[in-house]
Amino acid sequence: MRERDGRNADLRYDSVPVNAPLPRELAEQMRPAFVVRPPALLSRSGWAMTTAAVYVIFVLVPAMNLYLPAGHPFHLSDYFVSLAGKIMCYAIVALAMDLIWGYTGRWGCT
């Protein structure tokens, strides 16, 4: 395809071919001076507390139900363990709904 003045269509207005590599000076100017790293999600102590909470919920709660006798002060009843399971399931559903609403930007399907 030709332009009106007879130049090739694959040339820019400054007569540099479209597929040509950028000159070194221009490439150096386009490179960012520094790369911005996103901030850490949690600090080291925050991750330690999160790990401890997960350990308590997923390891100690079932162990306190199974291995401690019913008269022990730290024994957890079957009702409490099932209630904790239901709460965790509702939390997973709430996170899933939050992700869906965040990505789609909708409150409903209407």
Listed in sequence order, the residues at least 6 apart from 57 whose beta carbon sits closer than 8 Å to its beta carbon are: 84, 88
Q: How confident is the model at residue 108 (pLDDT cuts 50, 70, 90)?
A: low
The candidate with the shortest Cα–Cα distance to 57, out of 65, 68, 47, 69, is 65
**pLDDT tens-digit readout, 14-57:** 555 566 677 777 767 776 667 777 788 889 999 999 999 999 98
Q: Is residue 73 predicted with pLDDT exceeding 60?
A: yes
Structural domain spans, the chain = 44-104
38 or 110: which leads in pLDDT: 38
